[in-house]
Structure 1
């Protein structure tokens, strides 16, 4: 069948953007990709996680080495759709060649580029050596359940290198910080505000906790030459329901960006220890720590063939050698490469600009999207051939 036309490639992206997989419904995306692969005689497998959420795995080639490529199927909410210039779930091209739609940049264009590159390589009987394995994930935007499931089920055990096509056309990421979302809750006893001694104000120990966390963070001296400092931010705080009632419940949420020297485990212990140190004067009151998202930092050296090939191909397809860098953001690599070590070849590189992620009127440049399909085809074959 040969290569797909540019129109067919854009149509596939339009189909994906048209599936409203807002923090859910990845099963619909997986079914679409499964049917598309089947049409081109490529085997794929849908791995259901819930009734509406699923991962998808597909392979071309055979044997080792194994080069994994990964993209997530979920997107964030478009927010107020009336603020968009075009319908968020209808891919729309403007006069400058930008393709607008929720997920156009983050990251259905990267996912589509991987899928199409695999289809076109398979049509050519490529790769001759090794395996390309697509790991299409669910839940990347919130908790990383899809990547965690792939790792738990052994899909990374034999993988020799990993490419994630998050929007990053201007830089090749080879290391990034980790992330934690932590909810701290405080329980008290509600009474009338004129008689506070008969109850217990849940806000008081929570305020003490927030202050102690800030003090502890300010005393942390550990840093990473590549990733910089860890970051702790209290981002949400709620408590009370009526001004003349003592609140019986309050909560604060924190986002923590971690580095190898101040990692997720150390911050978990810090939060738990400070909770124990906060004075709580009521017998039935307490502070509870709920870490509902924890993704470790990814630290690789970035000195390998995968990075070198990607930089060389960026000159060919993007007109310049894209620099390699570290990132404060988080990808599914946090849960996919947890035991691979510093020498493991990993990059985040894909169509779209980082600045377009999660914004109103999100877009990917059509030329970049189409160029990355060709870039990925060369990258996958060249890496596998050189490592055969």
Structure 2
């Protein structure tokens, strides 16, 4: 028996995409889901982050074991609107694809999770245990929602975790640890015709970035699952006008660390490169704006293997288990969990995430509603005793 029709499932996703939660305004998404869940007698709590920003926590069932499922409420900016073929905040169907910002990353996964919980609840499919929904604010920048939920203890009693980021018909069990770092260079302003009277803040910053590219790309440390560290300078800003020597410059760099070359080793190497420039008269400083640890879960966990088995008929092919470079809220959620803790990333979507004309395949979205319903209930119901390990 289907509680929520296909048309209603599509409308829910359309409603979520219409809320422009671009690194902000997540509370509006959380409130929408809270009201939807309430219609099916599922209580959900807003966890306030800041004005206009909140995460959402909801549960069905009771007692142990506790299976957490998670997705984020925010999306990235749509970019240049004139490059979109459709309005990014109006879900638009074309040839079986649903276009809109967040259609892939990750409002389709979030909608599929919520609908699956409703179906499980209304059809009385859960025979024991608890399924806990953790819908987070701010995953795209800094993961403040996940940090808040972790600190509030919402992961303390959890026995396994699934995050519905857009993996498509692939399952991720490990990912690298993202770092966002700001490198600031201070100089002294002067007229560009008299550069000797100032100090160009750009020059040592360029040297550091150049040297960092060389150093990180020549590293040989390789993790057996996650491979090598990835380093990218992604933002550079300096100067106010063309005929003035800039007194300030900064760069933002994004690094993906591994257990073979850790977050702290990344920071230490960059500090060494800064010191080399500072010893020659530069004034460079480093600020770590985000540092999230790599995640490695067992590839052969019952959760991973069950997801492979249940997902195969929907994918109509074998489902691979993989490690990826992209980070998730799991870096915060699993801080205190043992290496044996069951965790996977499995959700509808594709590589159009963060791009112009982002989309999700309509059939995939609808399939994940059914897939999640089966996976969540089966996984908890078939647990041995009060643990999901």
TM (norm. structure 1) is 0.94
In structure 1, the residue matched to 2:376 is: 380
In structure 1, the residue matched to 2:126 is: 127
Shift, 1:2, TM fit? 5.4
Q: How does 1:306-325 map to 2 (within 5 A)?
A: 306-325=303-322
C-alpha separation between the residues in 2 aligned to 1:324 and 1:204? 45
C-alpha separation between the residues in 2 aligned to 1:214 and 1:11? 46
Greater CA deviation, 78-87 or 363-372?
A: 78-87
Shift, 1:342, TM fit? 2.3
Segments of 5+ residues of structure 2 without an aligned counterpart are none
Q: How does 1:250-265 map to 2 (within 5 A)?
A: 250-265=249-264
On the 8 A contact 1:67/1:159 being kept in 2, the answer is yes
**Aligned residue pairs: how many?**
384
On the 8 A contact 1:2/1:123 being kept in 2, the answer is no
TM (norm. structure 2) is 0.94
C-alpha separation between the residues in 2 aligned to 1:79 and 1:207? 27
C-alpha separation between the residues in 2 aligned to 1:224 and 1:244? 48
C-alpha separation between the residues in 2 aligned to 1:195 and 1:81? 42
C-alpha separation between the residues in 2 aligned to 1:12 and 1:342? 36
SS at structure 2 position matched to 1:233? strand
In structure 2, the residue matched to 1:195 is: 194
In structure 2, the residue matched to 1:291 is: 288
C-alpha separation between the residues in 2 aligned to 1:278 and 1:82? 42
In structure 2, the residue matched to 1:344 is: 341
Shift, 1:273, TM fit? 3.2
Greater CA deviation, 326-335 or 192-201?
A: 192-201
In structure 1, the residue matched to 2:231 is: 232
SS at structure 1 position matched to 2:244? coil
In structure 2, the residue matched to 1:214 is: 213
C-alpha separation between the residues in 1 aligned to 2:272 and 2:316? 52
On the 8 A contact 1:175/1:325 being kept in 2, the answer is yes
What does the per-residue CA deviation read over 1:3-60, in whole Å, with 9 as the maximum and x for residues that have no partner? 2111111111111111111111000001101111111100110011010111000000
C-alpha separation between the residues in 2 aligned to 1:15 and 1:207? 45
Is the aligned partner of 1:370 residue 2:366? Answer: yes
C-alpha separation between the residues in 2 aligned to 1:261 and 1:19? 40
In structure 2, the residue matched to 1:148 is: 147
Shift, 1:305, TM fit? 0.5
On the 8 A contact 1:182/1:253 being kept in 2, the answer is yes
What does the per-residue CA deviation read over 1:196-226, in whole Å, with 9 as the maximum and x for residues that have no partner? 3332222232233223323432453211111
Which of 330, 334, 351 is 2:331 aligned to?
334
In structure 2, the residue matched to 1:301 is: 298
Shift, 1:280, TM fit? 5.3
Is the aligned partner of 1:15 residue 2:11? Answer: no
On the 8 A contact 1:177/1:330 being kept in 2, the answer is yes
Greater CA deviation, 211-220 or 288-297?
A: 211-220
Which of 353, 371, 383 is 1:357 aligned to?
353
Greater CA deviation, 271-280 or 114-123?
A: 271-280
On the 8 A contact 2:169/2:311 being kept in 1, the answer is no
On the 8 A contact 1:64/1:129 being kept in 2, the answer is yes
Segments of 5+ residues of structure 1 without an aligned counterpart are none
SS at structure 2 position matched to 1:241? coil
Return closer, same or farther for 1:366/1:250 CA change in 2, 3 Å cut-off.
same
Return closer, same or farther for 1:201/1:175 CA change in 2, 3 Å cut-off.
same
Shift, 1:163, TM fit? 0.7
In structure 2, the residue matched to 1:165 is: 164
Q: CA RMSD in A?
A: 1.7
SS at structure 2 position matched to 1:224? coil
In structure 1, the residue matched to 2:112 is: 113
On the 8 A contact 1:351/1:369 being kept in 2, the answer is yes
Shift, 1:189, TM fit? 1.2
C-alpha separation between the residues in 2 aligned to 1:204 and 1:77? 31
C-alpha separation between the residues in 1 aligned to 2:237 and 2:100? 33
Q: How does 1:63-142 map to 2 (within 5 A)?
A: 63-94=63-94, 96-142=95-141
